[in-house]
Amino acid sequence: MLNKAKGIPVVEMHDITVKFPGVIANDNVSIDLYPGEVLALLGENGAGKTTLMNVLYGLYRPDEGEIRIRGETAYISNPNDAIRLGIGMVHQHFMLIPPFTVAENIVLGVEPVNSYGRLDMDKAVRDVEELSNQYGLIVDPHAKIEDISVGMQQRVEILKALYRGADVLILDEPTAVLTPQEVDELAEIMRSLVDQGKSIIFITHKLQEVIAISDRVTVLKQGKCVGTKETQNTTVEELAQMMVGREVVLSVEKQEAKVGETVLRVDNLHAKGPRNLPALRGVSFHVNAGEIVGIAGVEGNGQKELVETLTGLRKATSGHIYVDGIDIVNSQPRTLIEQGVAHIPEDRQNRGLILDFTVAENFIMRNYYKPPFARGINLDYGTIHTHAKQLISEFDIRTPHENVPVRSLSGGNQQKVIVARELSSEPRLLVASQPTRGLDVGAIEFVHKRLVEQRDKGKAILLISLELDEIMSLSDRILVIYEGQIVGEMTAREATERELGLLMAGGRSKQGLDAERSAVNVQHR
């Protein structure tokens, strides 16, 4: 391994601050990258990793801060500037044009032309072949992007950056959509790139990858830099704590659960995720009345698909979902609502609310068609408004009245509208997905209290959260999901953050992980 202490950093970002309306996405963040190393940028979704890299690539302009490239101050105001400085970026959502060929995608923007000004695709193909041999990134230059695998597409993205002479590569969540084999191949590719003198920043929220691939790791949390570690001198546990810990420790007061009969039973559920890859691979569990079951896991391990399948928004490929003993797998959303399944969706603005509807109208989204809100085909606005006023006061929603568009409410109050609506439907089962994401402390506490209240009223609650401490403080039982499977189950009392962290990272136990890690390290050297 190279000695990082020597030489000037190829990239230095000092005290970068990026503000979006209402939010500070990066708050005085500093990182540096030395030649020939892999720096992992670790953090949860929304921690500001991608924003920081978009700044480096010239897609965002920082409000404050300085960037130095090879020791010299650089002003990067668009991707062209970044490309000129030898920076290449592979975006999480690939920036490839599906009906174009591999070669066309790679040369776009810096196309070779012959002496008549005609696009010289023969030369493009030759260049691509040469480059792909040099770095061992085998691709077929003539294939169309829409016809090749995701792993292959990622190679094209990397070649695209190399073709532009990049020696600093930014990889944004490169493993998010890859199969395990493709992940291994990517690790291989990254090593070979570093061997040829390239430097790599790679964004991830997967701890195991940090350990396996990086030389150093910088952890971001809520837009701030938590710290930088040499990968050799850190552990998964330490990183997990840096990454997930909330500044305010939230404790939830709750009684012992009075568990009733089984409300939800999921049996060997399979479903597909993005790009038709299997996302759920035989999930089985149950939730009883009067208990909160938390699903812990790192993002992208099938949580989204699980929630959607449970609520009728995604088709299961096989398996069963029983609510109160009735198999409701692949039913329409309305059937599930009728069965008493309430759903606090993860994406509240795109799915949970109709932003241009009023608060009152949003309250009836899931049951507008039946009494007391509808009489025949007519909506009963009297009842709708009374209902709205009642929920507004009961859930302490701050709005001038029930007739303002929900768009004009703050994020916390928007979420309260959803929570109020879903809880007021007196469900049998509540599926709560990331119910406190992006909320302030007050709103978080409020939502937590309500969930516990519902539990005590005998509802079955399934909580899906990326926040480990939320899972631990709210749940009665905890399940861990990893790569579309439930890999562990324990009661909240016996669960420790360490144990959960290990399971979330795909380790079966402490010993197993250690073995794996030393194996990886051996390989690495």
Partner 1 sequence: METGNLADVTIYIALVVSTLRMATPLILAGLGGVFSERSGVVNIALEGIMLISAFMGMLISYYTEAPWLGVLSAVASGVLVALILAVACVRYKSNQVVVGTAINIFSLGFTGFMLRKVFEHAGQSPPVTKVADWTIPLIHKIPVIGPMIGKHTPFVYIAIVAAVISNHVLFETKLGLRIRAVGEHPKAAETVGVDVFAIRYLCVLLSGALAGLAGASLSLGFLSQFRENMTGGRGFIALAAMIFGKWTPYGTLGACILFGFADALQILSQTLGLTFIPRDFLLMAPYILTMAALAGVIGRSVPPAASGVPYERQK
Partner 2 sequence: MSSTGKDLEQPRSKMLYISREQRIELLIPVVAVFLALLLGALLVIFIGQSPIKAYSALLKGAFGSKRDIAETLINVTPLIFTGLSVAFSFKCGLFNIGAEGQFIMGQIVAAWIGFQITGLPTVIHMPLAFLLGALAGGLWAALPGYLKAKLGVHEVINTIMMNYIALYFSHYLLMAALKEPGQIPQTPAVAATARLWRILPGTRLHFGLILALGAVCLVYYLLFKTTLGYEIRAVGLNPHAARYSGINVSRDIIIAMTISGALSGAAGAVQILGVQFRFLDLFGFVGYGFDGIAVALLGRNHPFGVLAAATLFGTLARGAVTMQSMAKIPKQIIGIIQATIVLIVAADEILRRLMKPKETEIQGSQDAGEVELGGDR
Residue number, 248 or 522, with CB nearest to partner 2 = 248
79 is a contact residue toward partner 1 (CB under 8 A):
yes
425 is a contact residue toward partner 2 (CB under 8 A):
no
Residue number, 101 or 301, with CB nearest to partner 2 = 301
Q: Which one among 100, 135, 322, 357 touches partner 1, defined by CB under 8 A? A: 100
Q: Which one among 22, 99, 382, 400 touches partner 1, defined by CB under 8 A? A: 99
334 is a contact residue toward partner 2 (CB under 8 A):
yes
Q: In the numeric block, which tokens belong to residue 379?
A: 């909506």
Q: From the list partner 1, partner 2, none, which binds 462 (C-beta under 5 to 8 Å, kind-based)?
A: none
Q: Pick out residues in 93-112 that bind partner 2 (CB under 8 A).
A: none
162 is a contact residue toward partner 1 (CB under 8 A):
no
Q: Which one among 1, 8, 64, 80 touches partner 1, defined by CB under 8 A? A: 80
Contact between residue 103 and residue 96 where contact means Cβ atoms under 8 Å apart: no
Give the separation between CA 6 and CA 234, rounded to whole angstroms: 21
Q: From the list partner 2, partner 1, none, which binds 80 (C-beta under 5 to 8 Å, kind-based)?
A: partner 1
350 is a contact residue toward partner 1 (CB under 8 A):
no
Residues paired with 430 in a beta bridge: 342, 461
Q: From the list partner 2, partner 1, none, which binds 138 (C-beta under 5 to 8 Å, kind-based)?
A: none
Residues paired with 40 in a beta bridge: 202, 217
Q: Which one among 10, 29, 37, 60 touches partner 2, defined by CB under 8 A? A: 60
Contact between residue 280 and residue 466 where contact means Cβ atoms under 8 Å apart: no
399 is a contact residue toward partner 2 (CB under 8 A):
yes
104 is a contact residue toward partner 1 (CB under 8 A):
yes
Residue bearing tokens 């005998």: 458
Give, for 129, the enclosing helix (H) or strand (E).
helix 121-135
Nearest to 501 by CA among 206, 174, 231: 206
110 is a contact residue toward partner 1 (CB under 8 A):
yes
89 is a contact residue toward partner 1 (CB under 8 A):
yes
Distances (CA, A) of 54 to 18, 58, 176, 385: 10, 6, 18, 45
Handedness of CA 360, 361, 362, 364 (dihedral sign): positive
Contact between residue 438 and residue 274 where contact means Cβ atoms under 8 Å apart: no
Q: List b or e across 171-198, with b for residues whose CB sees 16 or more CB atoms inside 10 angstroms.
A: bbbbbbbbeeebbebbbebbeebbeeeb
Binding mask 156-195 for partner 2 (x = CB under 8 A): ----------------------------------------
50 is a contact residue toward partner 2 (CB under 8 A):
yes
349 is a contact residue toward partner 2 (CB under 8 A):
yes
Find the Cα–Cα–Cα–Cα dihedral 187, 157, 62, 76, rounded to 10°. 120
Nearest approach in angstroms of CB 86 to partner 1 is: 14
59 is a contact residue toward partner 1 (CB under 8 A):
yes
Residue number, 57 or 446, with CB nearest to partner 1 = 57
Q: Is 27 helix (H, G, I), strand (E, B) or coil?
A: strand
Residue number, 141 or 273, with CB nearest to partner 2 = 273
Find the Cα–Cα–Cα–Cα dihedral 508, 514, 515, 520, rounded to 10°. 110
* The residue type at 58: G
Among 5-13, 89-97, 345-353, 445-453, the segment contacting partner 1 (CB under 8 A):
89-97
Q: Pick out residues in 15-44 that bind partner 2 (CB under 8 A).
A: 19-23, 25
Residue number, 160 or 450, with CB nearest to partner 1 = 160
For the chain, the first-to-last Cα distance in angstroms comes to 7
Residue number, 160 or 348, with CB nearest to partner 1 = 160
Distances (CA, A) of 441 to 445, 446, 460: 6, 9, 25
Give the separation between CA 464 and CA 250, rounded to whole angstroms: 17
368 is a contact residue toward partner 2 (CB under 8 A):
yes
Counting residues that bind partner 2 (by CB under 8 A) gives 67
Residue numbers at the binding site for partner 2 (CB under 8 A)? 19-23, 25, 45-51, 54, 59-60, 92, 223, 311, 313, 332-334, 337, 343, 345-357, 361, 364-366, 368-369, 374, 377-379, 381, 398-401, 403-404, 407-413, 437-440, 443
